[in-house]
Amino acid sequence: MKELRFDPLNIVVCGIGGQGNVLAAEVLGSAMCDRGFRVAVGETYGASQRGGSVMSHVRVSAKMDPSVLIPSGEAHIIIGFEPLETLRMVRKYAGKDTTVVYDPRPVYPLGVLQGIQQYPAVEDIAAEIKGLTSMALAVPAAGIAMEAGDSKAANIALLGAFSQLPGAPLSREDLEKILSQRFKGAVLEINRRAFAMGCEAAGKGAE
C-alpha cells in the first residue's frame, strides 16, 4: 500500500453539475478503501443540478477515521473540472503544500452567455491558481474525453492525471481496478482510453 504524504490526506473534487464530479469522488473513495485506507467522502455543496457548483471532500487516513469536512487552507490535492470553480476552491482550501490538477476549459454560466456577466480571462485564472499552490497541472480532460469517444469521460481522464501526481495515494493500477468494477463493455473501454490518455497527459506535464 502506498504511504500517505499527509495523514489525513485531504482531497477536494470540484466543478459544475453534470461533469461527473460526484462519480469521481466515489471512485477515489472506493479505490482507497480497497487499498486499506480509512476514507470519508463529504457531502456535495451548492446546487448539484446541471450548471450549478458542485464540490466533494475526500479525506483519507491510514490510522484513524477522519472527519468529513476539510478545514480551510488544508487541502493537499484539488481536482478541478472547471477553471473558475477550481480557483474558487483554491482560494478557500489551498495551502503551501497543495497540488492542483484541473481542466482549463471554461464552462460559461448563463449570465456570461447572455452578456450580463463577465468571465475572467483563463490566463489570469491559471496564473492565480499557480501562484496560490505548490504545483498546478492543467490537463485538457474534456478534449481527451472527446478523443477517447465520450465527452462524459472527462472525469475519468482527470483521475488518470491525478494518479500521476506526486503524493497521490493511488497508483494507476489501483484506479484501473475500480474502473473495471464500475463499468462494463464499451463504456469500460472508453473510460480505459480516457484514463490512459489522462495519465499520459500528466506525465508530459500538460499545460
Domains with residue ranges and CATH for the chain: 9-203 (3.40.920.10)
Return the C-alpha cell found at 8.
489525513
Of 3-17, 31-45, 111-125, 151-165, minimum mean pLDDT range: 31-45
Cα separation of the two ends of the chain:
30
Q: Which residue has the higher pLDDT, 185 or 203?
A: 185
Return the C-alpha cell found at 86.
477550481
| For residues 148-161, average pLDDT | 94
Determine the pLDDT at residue 169.
Answer: 87
Reply yes or no on whether the pLDDT at 1 is more than 60. Answer: no
| Residues 3, 6: Cα–Cα separation, whole Å | 9
- Residue showing cell 463499468: 183
Model confidence, pTM? 0.91
Determine the pLDDT at residue 207.
Answer: 43
* Position 133 confidence tier, pLDDT thresholds 50, 70, 90: very high
Beta carbons of 117 and 109 less than 8 angstroms apart:
yes
| For residues 172-184, average pLDDT | 93
Residue 105, classed as helix, strand or coil, is coil
Residues 88-99, buried b or exposed e (16+ Cβ, 10 A)? bbbeebbbeebb
Of 14-18, 122-126, 202-206, minimum mean pLDDT range: 202-206
From residue 46, give the alpha-carbon distance in Å to each of 17, 176, 197.
9, 30, 30
Determine the pLDDT at residue 48.
Answer: 45
